[in-house]
Amino acid sequence: MPKLAIVQKASVFLDKEKSIELAVTSVKEAAAQKATVVIFTEAFIPGYPTWVWRLRPGGDWNLSEQLYQRLFDNSVCMESDDLLPLYAAAREHEVTIVCGIEECDSRLSRTTLYNTLIIIGPDGSLLNRHRKLMPTNPERMVWGFGDASGLRVVDTPAGRIGALVCWENYMPLARYALYAQGVEIYIAPTYDSGEGWLGSLQHIAREGRCWVVGSGNLMRGSDFPDDFPDKSRLYPDPEEWVNPGDSVVIAPGGEIVAGPMRKESGILYADIDLGKVAAARRVFDVAGHYSRPDIFTLQVDTRAQTSVEFKNQDR
């Protein structure tokens, strides 16, 4: 029976190396409790750019540039050795890791950032990289748009895992793409929280008849470093809960079985029974016997999108 571990801890904000160290330590802690899947939140490495919700749209130009530069300097290059410690931790402890990262494009301009989620197998290999399809509102001043090349469900020893990031989970066609691939453990790392968000996750569990994991972002005013630009104006109260977390595990059909973990740093654990997925889909299988392909069909272009194609590169 798979055991999930949802790590609800504040990142070492805007510090890539220390956030990776925290992730590795958390994997070790979860593995000691016999977890088989260890889940981190959206943009855990090196932290979600929460300031986009407090700066004036189109204003605070110099401050926005300072913060973006710092985020860029601490972003992850997938072609580098940045994530080797995390791959090694997965291999050492034989766990599957799901983790949000700030990814810097390494193929074209080498400057665009993406809100990316990676899945690492228990052998230390990269199973999937999904870039958030649609950054939400002011997030578009930070992140580029992803494509469907990572809109995949992957096999792991713990079950078939798929994931959408934050408000991607409000996109019914994106959800359906995961349902149609037989997702058993549906993971939703997010900056969102509260009763509305939890209700949406319960709906997904009812709709997809799968296990749903909400992996919430945790942050207090005291988690911002002392040298954070304009901290005294943006986050003056060290006791403020900028984000309370609300990590949760929901069974197929919508019952909450663990959490929500609110205003608390730690790891939320849950043992899950994959057999409940098939049992729940007996009466409702949205991508199977309950679908109507004679009326509705969905086409998903899973090719990696690119703005340029180079030919005759040997010249």
Find, among 209, 203, 212, the residue nearest to 248 by Cα.
212
Q: Catalytic: which of 166, 168, 184, 210?
A: 166
Token pair belonging to 4:
């999930």
Instruction: Answer yes or no: 77 catalytic.
Output: no
- Residue found under tokens 């407090």: 54
Instruction: Supply the DSSP string of 51-93, one letter for each residue.
Output: GGGTSPTT--HHHHHHHHHHHHHTPBPTTSSTTHHHHHHHHHH
Q: Catalytic: which of 3, 9, 42, 139?
A: 42
Instruction: Answer yes or no: 132 catalytic.
Output: yes
Find, among 126, 127, 215, 128, the residue nearest to 169 by Cα.
215
Contact between residue 98 and residue 156 where contact means Cβ atoms under 8 Å apart = no
Q: 259: left (phi > 0), else alpha (psi -120 to 50), else beta?
A: left
Any residues with CB less than 8 A from the CB of 113 and at least 6 apart, and which? 71, 72, 75, 102, 103, 104, 105, 142, 143, 144
Q: Catalytic: which of 3, 9, 16, 132?
A: 132
Instruction: Answer yes or no: 210 catalytic.
Output: no
List residues with catalytic annotation.
42, 132, 166
